[in-house]
Structure formats: structure tokens, C-alpha cells
Amino acid sequence: MKTKWPTKKLAEVCEFQNGLWTGKKPPYKRVCVLRNTNFKNNDGSLNYDDVAEIEVEEKQLEKRLLQPNDIILERSGGGPTQPVGRVVFFDKAGEYSFSNFTSRLRVFDTNELMPKFLHWFLMLQYISGKTENLQKQTTGIRNLIFAEYKEIEIPLPPLEEQKRIVKVLDEKLGKVREAIQLRKEAIADTEKILSAKLTEIFTEGKEKGWEERRIDEVAIINPKKSEISWVTDETQVAFVPMSAVSDTQQKIVDREMRSLGEVRKGYTYFKRGDLLFAKITPCMENGKVAVADIETEIGFGTTEFHVLRSIEAKSNIRFLYYILASKKFRLEAEKKMTGSAGQKRVPKDFIESYRITIPDLKTQEKIVKELDELSARVAELRALQDTQLADLKSLERAYLYEAFNGQLL
């Protein structure tokens, strides 16, 4: 049965302080600044492996040094699948501050409210989706509606009950998160298997006497639309936006049907069986590459794709897929990107001139079969582990819900 506890608004139980970034007025002081990127796995903890160390104004820093038991709130950032409003608990010694995309929450009276109890409650608001209703989006960045967030009602059971709840949650959620981490490590290990096999195959090519070729010697890069000039505008074609290419599964997971007249101009043309390679950051670095497995013979997509079509008797498209999907290729492509920050792209001539070692077609087909089988096993294991992770996340939400409804034993 739900226990009726007294409540207070968040603004009544803690103070808020916005973060900082590089200073403009001396004197300056160098300090470690925690950013949104240090929020670890959405689990309420911090990752200290990549902390920014910057020069900040001493005057600004005075009010922004973190203390153990502070809570850091993400007030700007987020993404398409990650709402803003994550919270992390700070419990580390040393001089640390927090970035201008975050705010610090510090409890006024710890005899009334345990900071860790408040942290767990705000975690529940986030993972249950309630925080998502308290945000707005501008220029691609999500911002927390601060005035509304401060109105959240915070339950205030007796301090001894708060201590009991925190102890039980620390124990139960500690075990859940340990299990989650083990499964994530297992996923990473399975992905390394395929990566190692790719490295083995493509580094041994020269030793096996494979020919070295430029990619444009074995594939057509960005085929011309003129080859379908005779097709009528009423013809239905598959349309593939960037979001339809999975960067984890490296395949097309969705597509739309449009008339050719709608997409003939202003979009990228390809055919069934062509290879789509995302050329723009961060899609390229994230691994958005896929063979066009579509229902129609003709397809179109975003202009941010490069298209590769194998030349008959010279290359197998899936052999080329494994080359372009490899971490080695994407790292080299990243170094050759051109354009301004946020709009960098892999130029066509990089792909054209990129040299690969490539065996005869029969050997390519044999290698592709082996890699496809390995990829399928990795994908199957990843899907199973993803299901287990989802179950563990559900268990985490259930524990938090029980805790703040007076049902946690």
C-alpha cells in the first residue's frame, strides 16, 4: 500500500547553480570541469576518464566548486533518443566544477532530505519519462524548462526511512548495474570477434598474392541518374533517409515508397544491391553503411550518401561492404573529411582513389559467406543481450517505483 509522505517543491529543498566554461576575464584558474559526456550510461554515475581541464574565471569558480553529495543536472543537450534531464551524483574528492550545459543541485538541509535519496527520486523522474515532458527544443538542442522542473514535488519520509530506502536501492540497483555492465562488456567482446576477423582477412591479402586496386577500378562511384531517364515519373521507388540506416546493424531498417517524380531531383539515386555509405559527420564515423536491400529496382535517398556499384566480374558488393564498414576504413576516411565543423564530409575522390587488396571473385564470395555467417552469429547474440538489458532496465524502474511509493521491502 502506498505510504502518504509530506512533500515539498524541489526549489524549496535545494539550491540551483548553473555551470561555467572557459573564462574571459582574469584572473583564471585551471580546473577539471564535468560535462554531459561524463554522465555514464544514463545510470546516475560519472565517468572520470575524459574530464575536460580548462581555464576558468576564479570569480565564477568560487560558487561552482563541487562538494561530495552534490547532484549535477543536465539542463541542455540530449538527442533524438535521449531526453535532456539526466542527473548524476558527485561523490569524489578534489577540485571539480561543472559545465555550462549543466546545473548543480545542493540540498539545503540534510537533516530533512538525504542528497542520495533526492538523487534516486530524480532518477525515477527521468527514466519513467516524466522529465521528457519538461523540455523544449531549439536548433537541435533540447533544453530543460527549468521553472517547471523546480516545481517537482519531492517526497519527504522520515530521515531514518530515507536512509533505509537509500541502503536498499544502493544494494539492489548495484547488483542490477553490475549485471548490465557485464552484458555490455559481452556485447563489446562479440563485436571484437568480427573486427579481428576483418583485420586478419584484409591484412593478409598481400601475402596471399591478391591484387591491389583503387576502388574505382572495381566499382562505380555515384552512378548517374541519366541511366533511368526513360523511367516515368509515376513509377514507385524506395526512398531511404539517413535515419533508416542503422549504425549498429549496418543495414536498412526502414524505407518509404515515393513516386520517381518526387525524388528525381535533389536526392541520391541508387539501385537494389548498391552500397550506401554515409559521407557526413557523425553518421560516417558511427558506421552508417548498408547494402540497398529494397523491394523496388530503383531507390533514392539523402544526398549525404555515396553510392558504390560493383563492376561485374571484378567485385562482390558485400566484399566492398565489409571494407567500407571496417573501423580501419572509417578512421582513414575521417582524416580526409573536408568542410566546416558539424558539416564535414568524405569526398568522392577519397573513395575513388582508396587502394584495397582484392582476390578473384570466387575467393571474394567465399570470404563474404564466412563473414556473413559470423555477422549473423554476432547479431543474434547482440539481440539476445539487448533483450536482457531491457529486462534489467525494467527491473531498475520497478525498484525505484516501489521505493518512492512506500512499497520497498
- The boundaries of the domain holding residue 135 are 7-156
* Predicted structure pTM score: 0.62
CA distance 16 to 337: 41
- pLDDT tops 60 at residue 326: yes
Which range, of 1-5, 79-83, 112-116, 222-226, averages the lowest pLDDT? Answer: 1-5
Residues 191 and 7: their CA atoms lie apart, in Å, by 47
Other C-beta atoms within 10 Å of 140: how many?
Answer: 9
pLDDT for the residue numbered 201: 75
β strands within 215-260, DSSP E: 219-221, 236-240, 256-259
Residue with the bigger pLDDT between 14 and 342: it is 14
| Radius of gyration of the CA atoms of the chain, in A | 26
Which pLDDT tens digit goes with each residue over 375-409? 888 788 778 777 877 777 787 778 888 888 777 66
Examine the pLDDT at 238 and tell me if it is beyond 80: yes
CA gap 214, 170 in Å, rounded:
57
Are both 145 and 199 inside the same structural domain?
no
> What is residue 109's DSSP assignment?
-
In this structure, what CATH number is given to the domain that contains residue 300? 3.90.220.20
pLDDT band at 71, cuts 50/70/90?
A: very high
Is residue 219 located within the same domain as residue 354?
yes
Position 125 in a domain: yes
Residues 106 and 80 reside in one and the same domain: yes
The answer to whether residue 176 scores a pLDDT higher than 50 is: yes
Considering 156, 178, 195, which residue would you say is the last residue of a domain? 156
Res. 214: pLDDT tops 50: yes
Residue 403: CB partners within 8 Å, gap ≥ 6?
120, 124, 165, 168, 169
Residues 229 and 327 in one domain: yes
What is the pLDDT averaged over residues 356-374?
A: 92
pLDDT-derived band of residue 139, with 50, 70 and 90 as boundaries? low
In a domain, 229, yes or no: yes
The count of domains in the chain is: 3
> Cell for 166?
537509500
Average pLDDT over the chain, rounded to an integer: 89
Q: Within this chain, do residues 368 and 304 fall inside the same structural domain, yes or no?
A: no
Q: Per-residue pLDDT for 296 more than 50?
A: yes
- Three-class secondary structure of residue 326 per DSSP: coil
* Shared-domain flag, residues 241 and 343: yes
| pLDDT band, very low/low/confident/very high, at 69 (cuts 50, 70, 90) | very high
Within-domain flag for 152:
yes
Helix (H) or strand (E) holding 55: strand 52-57
Residue % of the chain over a pLDDT of 90: 60
Q: Which residue has the higher pLDDT, 225 or 393?
A: 225
Q: Which of 316, 331, 358 is the last residue of a domain?
A: 358
Q: Is residue 130 part of a domain?
A: yes
pLDDT of residue 376: 85
Residue 353 has pLDDT above 50, yes or no: yes
Establish whether the linkage from the previous residue to 27 is cis, with ω within 30° of 0: yes
Residue 389 and residue 373: Cα distance in Å, rounded? 24
Q: Domain for residue 286, yes or no?
A: yes
pLDDT at 137 over 80: no
Residue 152 and residue 14 share a domain: yes
Rounded CA separation 128/156 (Å): 20
Residue 3's pLDDT band, with cuts at 50, 70 and 90, is low
Note whether 352 and 367 are same-domain residues.
no
Residue 354 lies in a domain: yes
Answer yes or no: is 405 within a domain: yes
Residues 225 and 172 occupy one common structural domain: no
Q: What's the whole-number mean pLDDT along residues 98-113?
A: 96
Whether the predicted pLDDT of 1 surpasses 50: no
Q: How confident is the model at residue 95 (pLDDT cuts 50, 70, 90)?
A: very high
Q: Does residue 1 lie in a domain region?
A: no
Q: Domain check: are 76 and 167 in the same one?
A: no
Same domain as 341, residue 228: yes
Residues 37 and 115 placed together within one structural domain of the fold: yes
Triad 74, 156, 39: Cα angle to 5° = 20
